[in-house]
Amino acid sequence: MRIRTFDEYQTAYQKSVEDPEEFWAEIAQNFQWRKPWTKTLQWNFDEPNIKWFVGGKLNITENCLDRHLAERGDQPAIIWEPNDPNEAGVTLTYRMLHDQVCRFANVLKRNGVVKGDRICIYMPMVPELAIAVLACARIGAVHSVVFGGFSAQSIADRINDAQCKVVVTADGSYRGNKEVPLKNTVDDALIGCPSVQRVIVMTRTRTPVSMLKGRDVWWEQELKQVTADCPAEEMDAEDMLFILYTSGSTGKPKGVVHTCGGYMVYAAYTFQNVFQYEPGQVFFCTADIGWITGHSYIVYGPLASGATSIIFEGVPTYPDCGRFWDITDKHNVNILYTAPTAIRSLMGFGLEKVENHDLSSLQVLGSVGEPINEEAWHWYDDHIGKNRCPIVDTWWQTETGGILISPIAGVTKTKPTYATLPLPGVQPILVDENGKEIEGNGVSGNLCMKFPWPGILRTTYGDHERCRQTYFATYPGLYFTGDGCLRDEDGYYRITGRVDDVLNVSGHRIGTAEVENAINMHTGVVESAVVGYPHDIKGQGIYAYVITDDQQPSDHDAELTKRDILATVTRVIGPIAKPDKIQFVTGLPKTRSGKIMRRILRKIAEGDISNLGDTSTLLDPAVVDDIKAGAI
Ligand code: WT7
């Protein structure tokens, strides 16, 4: 399973293209199957219909927990670092984690959960979050983790889309010096969620919460009623493992579906190879388990590999901007996996809180979530890796389940801002607007994949047609990523960013349409258009052009309306979707057919107003001058 030299990478890559089934079958042998598969791969990208390890039976938690007990039962599986460094942390060995997962799985069963039920998890970054995720997987329930920063409305939308039967949450969570009332938000969400029969509430902050008789139960009390004996449910390789919602260019977020067999194989294979994980190493991924990065590289990838994975509850700047480095030294972190936005924000604080740390345990550094700019790459390399740790710039998506394009640490020669080369099993292709392949090197185009890998999404929950439309219809026969990409003279790939109406704000994916819908819900708003613009720390900022029914508001009124709009967006989506800039306008640049010309709005938001290109097709070119004059 392990690649150790560039020659081995090339050999593996070639084999994976020539005989993908044989290639992945060999890798899948390294896992524990209840029953072997009969066909390694069945696929077409037209419906699409993708099945890996057909007929294979397994349970992912037997691979993440049970099979490690004999050899490394007493090794830490999870190290939990609380928000407050003065609070005692928790270390769970594989044996302890196995025990707790089985117990909580029995709690779920006691509360009526059976195989196939959907469970919404809305929790802080505590060990119990990973325990809840794994407990679902243990009994074949489908988890749908919702990031703790989303609003009640967002939770309700996700619960209703998947018809969740149970919600697992906590009273509250700690983030920096803030306390967030999670259960309260869940209560608001559940007003509109008739499918939910039970809410299991873990105690974290002990903030007062309402507990509805007949619906709400305490995690701790439930645990007293169960044993630690919970045999794993036998799952088909293609049974659903989880749903994770992600934003696209239109409509409400889609529930990306991953299944048991292929996802497990892919998450573990990429974890071990990209980071060159060695037994005994401590891995620290700073993402939240509410995102795919946390699913694949805090929970499933590391645990399926028998690694020690850190769960960090807090934020990089609390109690001060040295927190990541405190954690690195305290737990002797060997592999650190974080996001460019975090690096850029920490860069801004200078080197004082870096240089008073040792950091000598570090061996590999990872980056994920958005393009990493050259300056951040070098700062990471110079000051964190001390020029002795390879940096892996890992490109992938919620839909891909695991890393697709990335250096293999210490094996692939790196180049700042390049995700470099496809991993074995990954077949990228660049196409032009018409879907024609762009061959050769020194070219750029739209990034697609022409062959499935085991971690690819199988559907979008409850709406397979939407999955087809979104990913497989733009360029028939190909999976379309939505990203633009450059392939340089060496054949190295550099992701240049989204080519659709999706923003990447601090590594969070946000649809412009979603933000517009939220803004339009505000009483005084007639219409709005949202675009991204370059932001020093967030990567992209959100710029909103808004038409209100009061065309001549006083400065004071305009200021108040802005604040109301921010409150509305926070209420509808969550604080991560709040526009950074709001410009009130009297009209939007539209074509005669009524389409907003976002290209022009993007240019103005970027501050590049000299060359707006062809505006002759506009219905009313004069609105552009007004917008230019009022640009922020
Ligand atoms: C989008 C996916 C799974 C990673 C976490 C985000 C952008 C992700 C990189 C990278 C340039 C990147 C892409 C992609 N992206 N990693 N290393 N370099 N861009 O997952 O929320 O599904 O977002 O994030 O635009 O399409 P996500």
> What would the pLDDT profile of 153-204 be if each residue is shown by its tens digit?
999 999 999 999 999 999 999 999 999 999 999 999 999 999 999 999 999 9
Are 456 and 479 contacting, i.e. CB atoms less than 8 angstroms apart? yes
d(CA 301, CA 130) in angstroms, rounded, equals 13
- Ligand 1 pocket, residue 419 CB under 6 Å: yes
pLDDT confidence of 500, banded at 50, 70, 90?
very high
Best residue among 396, 444, 540 to mutate for probing ligand 1, ranked by most atoms within 8 Å of CB? 396
- Ligand 1 pocket, residue 576 CB under 6 Å: no
Closest Cα to atom 18 of ligand 1: 371
- Ligand 1 pocket, residue 246 CB under 6 Å: yes
d(CA 405, CA 368) in angstroms, rounded, equals 11
Best residue among 150, 263, 495 to mutate for probing ligand 1, ranked by most atoms within 8 Å of CB? 495
- Ligand 1 atom with the smallest distance to the CA of 296 is 3
- Ligand 1 atom with the smallest distance to the CA of 400 is 3
Are 549 and 527 contacting, i.e. CB atoms less than 8 angstroms apart? no
d(CA 220, CA 597) in angstroms, rounded, equals 55
Closest Cα to atom 19 of ligand 1: 370
Separation of 493 CA from ligand 1 center, angstroms? 14
- Ligand 1 atom with the smallest distance to the CA of 508 is 21
Q: DSSP assignment, residue 68?
A: G
Give this complex's ipTM: 0.99
The whole-angstrom distance between residue 133's C-alpha and the CA centroid of its chain comes to 15
pLDDT at 161: 98
For the chain, what percent of residues have pLDDT higher than 70? 100
Are 47 and 477 contacting, i.e. CB atoms less than 8 angstroms apart? no
Separation of 504 CA from ligand 1 center, angstroms? 8
Query: What are the φ and ψ backbone dihedral angles of 60, each rounded to 5 degrees?
Result: -65, -30
For the chain, what percent of residues have pLDDT higher than 90? 96
Closest Cα to atom 12 of ligand 1: 370
Q: At what angle do helices 152-162 and 555-572 cross, to 10 degrees?
A: 30
Q: How far is CA 259 from CA 137, 140, 230, 416, in A?
A: 11, 11, 21, 34
Q: Is residue 264 over pLDDT 90?
A: yes
Closest Cα to atom 14 of ligand 1: 397
503: β partners: 510
Tens of pLDDT, residue by residue over 282-324, are 999 999 999 999 999 999 999 999 999 999 999 999 999 999 9
Separation of 507 CA from ligand 1 center, angstroms? 7
- Ligand 1 atom with the smallest distance to the CA of 394 is 17
pLDDT at 619: 87
Tens of pLDDT, residue by residue over 330-349, are 999 999 999 999 999 999 99
pLDDT at 298: 99
Q: Is residue 551 over pLDDT 90?
A: no
